Amino acid sequence: MEHPILENLKWRYATKKFNAERKIDSKDLEILKEAVRLSASSYGLQPYHIIMVENKDLREQIKNAAWNQTQITEASNLFVFANITNVGVEEIKNYIENTANTREIPVSNLKGFEDMMNNSIATLPNDIKENWTAKQTYIALGTLLTAAAELKIDATPMEGFNREEVNKILNLTEKGLSASLIVTLGYRDEEDPAQFLKKVRKPKEELFITL
């Protein structure tokens, strides 16, 4: 008998057509949000925000900036992962304070960790920092896709959009953010032909290299 997590991952696919009438239950949506919150992240810093776009007009504008991919307006929910473009001392300070409060220890106990993070992150050129924070959103994306599959919720990650346009629509630049990827969430339409296609992946013998 195959493990349920493998069954669920085989079940999921990049949904092309959503059932626009079916919405994600608020309880399941909270589970998805919590799964993303608990996702792995370098240093635990989570240098990004997730914009949950519910406004229909904004979603229509985003669809136009994403070459009219209908999933953006048909899906129950739309998440935009936006990375912090110039992560630095302030974000690190906030993270250290959060760590101290969560673990009930003095901030001074974390001084070495804070200095190390500042030396390795805050001093990087802006373009390298932005590239690094954008990559961090993909770690959270993997957690979201897996959690959605466990709940039998369809999810389609998208990189096909005009980043500058989406940043403008959501006023992200002014907030020090930039859209790195979009995820539509909901339930597949019964007539979406893509759900019946066999999943194509490399065989394990080709994908994995043992040294």
CATH number of the domain encompassing residue 68: 3.40.109.10
195 lies in a domain? no
pLDDT confidence bin for 1, thresholds 50/70/90: confident
Tokens (6 digits) for 188: 């597949």
Rounded to two decimals, the pTM is: 0.96
Closest CA to 179 of 115, 134, 122, 128: 134
The answer to whether residue 94 sits within a structural domain is no
| 113 falls within a domain | no
In a domain, 162, yes or no: yes
Mean pLDDT of the chain: 98
Asked, for residue 146, whether it belongs to a domain, the answer is yes
pLDDT digits (tens, 9 = 90+) for 110-166: 999 999 999 999 999 999 999 999 999 999 999 999 999 999 999 999 999 999 999
Its sign, for the CA torsion 153, 156, 157, 162, is negative
Helix axes 26-37, 126-150, angle to 10 degrees: 140
Give the per-residue pLDDT at 141.
98
83 close to 47: Cβ distance less than 8 angstroms: yes
Residues, the chain: 211
**Number of domains present in the structure of the chain:** 1
Q: Residue 156 is part of which domain span? A: 4-8+28-37+48-86+127-189
What mean pLDDT comes out for the span 29-39?
Answer: 98
Q: What is the pLDDT of residue 179?
A: 98
Cβ partners under 8 Å of residue 57, min gap 6: none
Which pLDDT belongs to residue 195? 97
Is the model's pLDDT at 204 over the cut of 90? yes
